[in-house]
Protein backbone atom coordinates (compact mmCIF):
# COMPACT_ATOMS: atom_id res chain seq x y z
CA UNK A 1 0.00 0.00 0.00
CA UNK A 2 1.26 3.49 -0.92
CA UNK A 3 2.20 6.00 1.76
CA UNK A 4 1.66 9.73 1.39
CA UNK A 5 3.51 11.52 4.17
CA UNK A 6 1.69 14.66 5.28
CA UNK A 7 4.40 17.12 6.35
CA UNK A 8 2.09 19.93 7.54
CA UNK A 9 3.10 19.41 11.16
CA UNK A 10 6.66 20.48 10.40
CA UNK A 11 5.20 23.85 9.41
CA UNK A 12 2.97 23.80 12.51
CA UNK A 13 6.13 23.62 14.66
CA UNK A 14 7.82 26.40 12.69
CA UNK A 15 4.77 28.68 12.82
CA UNK A 16 4.60 28.30 16.60
CA UNK A 17 7.60 30.70 16.58
CA UNK A 18 7.10 32.25 13.13
CA UNK A 19 10.75 31.68 12.28
CA UNK A 20 12.55 29.71 9.59
CA UNK A 21 13.01 26.29 11.26
CA UNK A 22 12.07 23.54 10.90
CA UNK A 23 11.65 23.95 7.14
CA UNK A 24 9.26 21.39 5.55
CA UNK A 25 11.40 21.57 2.41
CA UNK A 26 14.20 19.80 4.30
CA UNK A 27 11.89 16.80 4.76
CA UNK A 28 11.66 15.99 1.05
CA UNK A 29 14.89 14.05 0.61
CA UNK A 30 14.35 12.20 3.92
CA UNK A 31 10.82 11.16 2.89
CA UNK A 32 12.13 9.88 -0.43
CA UNK A 33 15.03 7.99 1.19
CA UNK A 34 12.71 6.34 3.70
CA UNK A 35 10.41 5.06 0.98
CA UNK A 36 7.48 7.49 1.05
CA UNK A 37 5.47 7.37 -2.15
CA UNK A 38 4.01 10.85 -2.01
CA UNK A 39 4.29 14.16 -0.18
CA UNK A 40 1.00 15.60 1.09
CA UNK A 41 0.55 19.22 2.14
CA UNK A 42 -2.47 21.32 3.06
CA UNK A 43 -2.46 24.97 2.03
CA UNK A 44 -5.17 26.33 4.32
CA UNK A 45 -7.03 29.51 3.50
CA UNK A 46 -5.81 31.06 6.77
CA UNK A 47 -2.19 29.90 6.06
CA UNK A 48 -1.86 28.80 9.65
CA UNK A 49 0.91 26.33 8.84
CA UNK A 50 1.97 25.87 5.20
CA UNK A 51 2.67 29.18 3.47
CA UNK A 52 2.45 29.90 -0.26
CA UNK A 53 6.25 29.84 -0.61
CA UNK A 54 6.35 26.40 1.04
CA UNK A 55 3.91 25.05 -1.51
CA UNK A 56 5.82 26.64 -4.41
CA UNK A 57 9.19 25.22 -3.29
CA UNK A 58 7.87 21.80 -2.27
CA UNK A 59 6.07 21.28 -5.58
CA UNK A 60 9.09 22.54 -7.54
CA UNK A 61 11.72 20.47 -5.72
CA UNK A 62 9.98 17.25 -4.67
CA UNK A 63 11.10 14.21 -6.58
CA UNK A 64 7.95 12.47 -5.33
CA UNK A 65 4.42 13.30 -6.49
CA UNK A 66 2.86 16.08 -4.40
CA UNK A 67 -0.74 15.88 -3.22
CA UNK A 68 -1.96 19.38 -2.38
CA UNK A 69 -4.99 19.54 -0.10
CA UNK A 70 -7.09 22.67 -0.38
CA UNK A 71 -10.59 24.08 0.02
CA UNK A 72 -12.92 24.45 -2.97
CA UNK A 73 -12.85 28.26 -2.75
CA UNK A 74 -12.21 29.69 -6.25
CA UNK A 75 -9.09 31.60 -5.06
CA UNK A 76 -7.56 28.36 -3.75
CA UNK A 77 -8.36 26.52 -6.97
CA UNK A 78 -6.68 29.31 -8.96
CA UNK A 79 -3.56 28.98 -6.78
CA UNK A 80 -3.59 25.19 -7.16
CA UNK A 81 -3.87 25.47 -10.96
CA UNK A 82 -0.85 27.74 -10.99
CA UNK A 83 1.17 25.50 -8.64
CA UNK A 84 0.32 22.42 -10.71
CA UNK A 85 0.92 19.65 -8.16
CA UNK A 86 0.49 16.03 -9.21
CA UNK A 87 -2.86 15.83 -7.37
CA UNK A 88 -5.26 18.12 -5.57
CA UNK A 89 -7.40 16.71 -2.78
CA UNK A 90 -10.41 18.91 -2.13
CA UNK A 91 -11.13 19.12 1.60
CA UNK A 92 -13.65 20.98 3.76
CA UNK A 93 -12.24 23.83 5.80
CA UNK A 94 -13.54 25.62 8.85
CA UNK A 95 -11.34 28.30 10.33
CA UNK A 96 -12.22 27.40 13.91
CA UNK A 97 -11.33 23.70 13.58
CA UNK A 98 -8.02 22.33 14.92
CA UNK A 99 -7.79 19.87 12.04
CA UNK A 100 -9.96 18.68 9.14
CA UNK A 101 -12.93 17.41 11.07
CA UNK A 102 -15.12 15.73 8.49
CA UNK A 103 -15.44 14.87 4.83
CA UNK A 104 -16.45 17.27 2.11
CA UNK A 105 -20.16 18.17 1.95
CA UNK A 106 -20.79 17.35 -1.70
CA UNK A 107 -24.56 17.57 -1.65
CA UNK A 108 -25.72 21.09 -2.43
CA UNK A 109 -22.24 22.23 -3.52
CA UNK A 110 -22.10 20.48 -6.86
CA UNK A 111 -21.88 23.58 -9.10
CA UNK A 112 -18.87 24.92 -7.19
CA UNK A 113 -17.25 21.48 -7.09
CA UNK A 114 -17.87 20.86 -10.79
CA UNK A 115 -16.21 24.15 -11.69
CA UNK A 116 -13.23 23.43 -9.41
CA UNK A 117 -12.77 19.90 -10.78
CA UNK A 118 -13.02 21.08 -14.38
CA UNK A 119 -10.40 23.79 -13.84
CA UNK A 120 -7.99 21.37 -12.16
CA UNK A 121 -8.45 18.80 -14.92
CA UNK A 122 -7.79 21.44 -17.57
CA UNK A 123 -4.44 21.92 -15.86
CA UNK A 124 -3.80 18.16 -15.97
CA UNK A 125 -4.00 17.77 -12.21
CA UNK A 126 -5.46 14.56 -10.74
CA UNK A 127 -8.41 15.31 -8.45
CA UNK A 128 -9.40 13.57 -5.23
CA UNK A 129 -12.32 14.28 -2.91
CA UNK A 130 -11.91 13.81 0.85
CA UNK A 131 -15.23 12.29 1.88
CA UNK A 132 -16.87 10.56 4.80
CA UNK A 133 -17.45 6.83 4.28
CA UNK A 134 -20.97 7.19 2.91
CA UNK A 135 -22.40 5.55 -0.22
CA UNK A 136 -24.13 8.75 -1.39
CA UNK A 137 -20.76 10.56 -1.32
CA UNK A 138 -19.08 7.77 -3.29
CA UNK A 139 -21.77 7.93 -5.97
CA UNK A 140 -21.60 11.73 -6.18
CA UNK A 141 -17.81 11.57 -6.45
CA UNK A 142 -18.18 9.19 -9.39
CA UNK A 143 -20.73 11.49 -11.04
CA UNK A 144 -18.35 14.40 -10.63
CA UNK A 145 -15.71 12.52 -12.61
CA UNK A 146 -12.80 12.57 -10.15
CA UNK A 147 -10.06 9.91 -10.31
CA UNK A 148 -9.65 9.47 -6.56
CA UNK A 149 -11.60 9.58 -3.33
CA UNK A 150 -9.99 9.66 0.10
CA UNK A 151 -12.05 8.26 2.96
CA UNK A 152 -11.93 10.20 6.22
CA UNK A 153 -10.85 7.65 8.84
CA UNK A 154 -11.30 10.03 11.79
CA UNK A 155 -14.36 8.25 13.18
CA UNK A 156 -12.56 4.89 13.02
CA UNK A 157 -9.49 6.40 14.74
CA UNK A 158 -11.59 8.01 17.47
CA UNK A 159 -13.43 4.78 18.29
CA UNK A 160 -10.10 2.91 18.28
CA UNK A 161 -8.62 5.45 20.71
CA UNK A 162 -11.58 5.10 23.06
CA UNK A 163 -11.37 1.33 22.99
CA UNK A 164 -7.61 0.77 23.21
CA UNK A 165 -6.04 4.11 24.09
CA UNK A 166 -5.75 5.85 27.40
CA UNK A 167 -8.80 7.98 28.10
CA UNK A 168 -6.56 10.92 28.97
CA UNK A 169 -5.27 10.89 25.40
CA UNK A 170 -8.66 10.48 23.76
CA UNK A 171 -9.72 13.50 21.68
CA UNK A 172 -11.85 15.97 23.67
CA UNK A 173 -14.87 15.72 21.40
CA UNK A 174 -15.50 12.12 22.40
CA UNK A 175 -14.00 11.97 25.89
CA UNK A 176 -17.34 12.34 27.59
CA UNK A 177 -18.69 9.33 25.75
CA UNK A 178 -17.40 6.63 28.04
CA UNK A 179 -19.17 3.82 26.29
CA UNK A 180 -19.01 0.19 27.39
CA UNK A 181 -16.25 -1.81 25.67
CA UNK A 182 -18.74 -4.13 24.02
CA UNK A 183 -20.52 -1.20 22.41
CA UNK A 184 -17.20 0.29 21.28
CA UNK A 185 -16.07 -3.02 19.78
CA UNK A 186 -19.33 -3.20 17.83
CA UNK A 187 -18.90 0.41 16.64
CA UNK A 188 -15.31 -0.27 15.54
CA UNK A 189 -16.33 -3.38 13.60
CA UNK A 190 -19.21 -1.51 12.00
CA UNK A 191 -16.96 1.38 10.91
CA UNK A 192 -14.36 -1.01 9.50
CA UNK A 193 -17.08 -2.91 7.70
CA UNK A 194 -18.38 0.30 6.17
CA UNK A 195 -14.89 1.33 5.05
CA UNK A 196 -14.35 -2.14 3.59
CA UNK A 197 -17.64 -2.30 1.68
CA UNK A 198 -17.47 1.25 0.37
CA UNK A 199 -13.85 0.85 -0.74
CA UNK A 200 -14.86 -2.25 -2.73
CA UNK A 201 -17.88 -0.43 -4.15
CA UNK A 202 -15.79 2.62 -5.13
CA UNK A 203 -13.09 0.48 -6.75
CA UNK A 204 -15.73 -1.49 -8.66
CA UNK A 205 -17.03 1.70 -10.30
CA UNK A 206 -13.53 2.79 -11.27
CA UNK A 207 -12.58 5.16 -8.46
CA UNK A 208 -9.13 4.92 -6.91
CA UNK A 209 -9.33 4.81 -3.14
CA UNK A 210 -7.14 6.50 -0.54
CA UNK A 211 -7.79 6.94 3.17
CA UNK A 212 -6.46 9.06 5.98
CA UNK A 213 -6.84 11.08 9.15
CA UNK A 214 -5.96 9.94 12.64
CA UNK A 215 -4.09 6.85 11.44
CA UNK A 216 -1.17 5.79 13.61
CA UNK A 217 1.21 2.90 14.34
CA UNK A 218 -1.47 1.09 16.36
CA UNK A 219 -4.66 1.51 14.38
CA UNK A 220 -3.34 1.34 10.81
CA UNK A 221 -3.19 -2.47 10.43
CA UNK A 222 -6.94 -3.01 10.03
CA UNK A 223 -7.06 -0.33 7.33
CA UNK A 224 -4.08 -1.86 5.51
CA UNK A 225 -6.06 -5.12 5.34
CA UNK A 226 -8.65 -3.45 3.07
CA UNK A 227 -7.27 -4.37 -0.35
CA UNK A 228 -9.25 -1.85 -2.35
CA UNK A 229 -7.52 1.01 -0.51
CA UNK A 230 -4.40 1.88 -2.53
CA UNK A 231 -2.92 4.69 -0.48
CA UNK A 232 -2.85 6.17 3.01
CA UNK A 233 -2.05 9.79 3.82
CA UNK A 234 -0.59 10.03 7.29
CA UNK A 235 0.83 13.06 9.06
CA UNK A 236 0.47 13.66 12.77
CA UNK A 237 1.57 10.25 14.05
CA UNK A 238 4.64 10.16 11.79
CA UNK A 239 5.80 13.66 12.72
CA UNK A 240 5.10 12.94 16.41
CA UNK A 241 7.30 9.83 16.30
CA UNK A 242 9.99 11.69 14.38
CA UNK A 243 10.51 14.03 17.38
CA UNK A 244 12.00 11.05 19.24
CA UNK A 245 13.20 8.73 16.47
CA UNK A 246 13.95 11.02 13.55
CA UNK A 247 11.81 11.42 10.44
CA UNK A 248 13.54 8.71 8.44
CA UNK A 249 12.98 6.04 11.11
CA UNK A 250 9.39 7.18 11.69
CA UNK A 251 8.59 6.75 7.99
CA UNK A 252 10.45 3.42 7.78
CA UNK A 253 8.40 2.14 10.75
CA UNK A 254 5.14 3.19 9.10
CA UNK A 255 6.15 1.78 5.72
CA UNK A 256 6.85 -1.58 7.38
CA UNK A 257 3.25 -1.68 8.62
CA UNK A 258 1.91 -0.95 5.15
CA UNK A 259 3.59 -3.92 3.45
N1 LIG B 1 -5.80 13.26 4.63
C2 LIG B 1 -6.38 14.48 4.65
C3 LIG B 1 -7.30 14.83 3.52
C4 LIG B 1 -6.12 15.41 5.68
O5 LIG B 1 -6.70 16.61 5.67
C6 LIG B 1 -5.20 15.04 6.69
C7 LIG B 1 -4.85 16.01 7.77
O8 LIG B 1 -5.95 16.39 8.45
C9 LIG B 1 -4.62 13.77 6.64
C10 LIG B 1 -4.94 12.89 5.60
C11 LIG B 1 -3.63 13.31 7.67
O12 LIG B 1 -4.21 13.24 8.92
P13 LIG B 1 -3.28 12.98 10.19
O14 LIG B 1 -2.39 14.18 10.35
O15 LIG B 1 -4.26 12.83 11.31
O16 LIG B 1 -2.50 11.73 9.91
Q: Give me ligand 1 centre to Cα 239, in Å.
A: 12
User: How many angstroms is it from 100 CA to the middle of ligand 1?
Assistant: 7
pLDDT at 96: 65
Q: Please say if 49 is a catalytic residue.
A: no
With 80 as the cut, is the pLDDT of residue 172 above it? no
Q: Across the chain, what does the average pLDDT equal?
A: 93
pLDDT at 173 over 80: no
Q: Which of 216, 208, 197, 224 is nearest to 154 (CA)?
A: 216
Cβ(6) – ligand 1 distance below 6 Å = yes
Task: Report residue 195 CA to chain centroid gap.
Answer: 15
Which SS3 state, helix, strand or coil, does residue 123 take? coil
* pLDDT(34) > 70: yes
pLDDT digits (tens, 9 = 90+) for 194-233: 999 999 999 999 999 999 999 999 999 999 999 999 999 9
CA of residue 112 to ligand 1 center, whole Å: 23
Asked if 123 is an active-site residue, the reply is no
Model confidence at 170, in pLDDT bands (50, 70, 90)?
low
Determine the pLDDT at residue 178.
63
69 in catalytic set: yes
Q: What is the DSSP string of 94-119?
A: -TT-SS--S----TT-HHHHHHHHHH
4 by Cβ neighbours in 10 Å (0-12 / 13-18 / 19+) ranks as: buried
Interval 155-182 mean pLDDT: 74
Q: Which domains does the chain have, with CATH numbers?
A: 2-155+207-257 (3.20.20.70)
Ligand 1 pocket test, pick from 44, 68, 69, 238 with the greatest ligand atom count within 8 Å of Cβ, gives 69
pTM for the whole thing?
Answer: 0.93
Condensed to tens digits (0 to 9), the pLDDT of residues 56-115 reads 999 999 999 999 999 999 999 999 999 999 999 999 987 666 676 678 888 888 899 999
Amino acid sequence: MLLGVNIDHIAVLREARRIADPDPLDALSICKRAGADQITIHLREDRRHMQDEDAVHIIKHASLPVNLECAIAPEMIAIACELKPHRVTLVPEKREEVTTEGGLAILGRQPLLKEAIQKLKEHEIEVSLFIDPDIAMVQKAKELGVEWIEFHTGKYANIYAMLYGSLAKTPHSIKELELPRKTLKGMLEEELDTLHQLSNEAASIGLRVAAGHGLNYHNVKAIVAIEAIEELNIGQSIIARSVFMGLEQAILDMKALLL
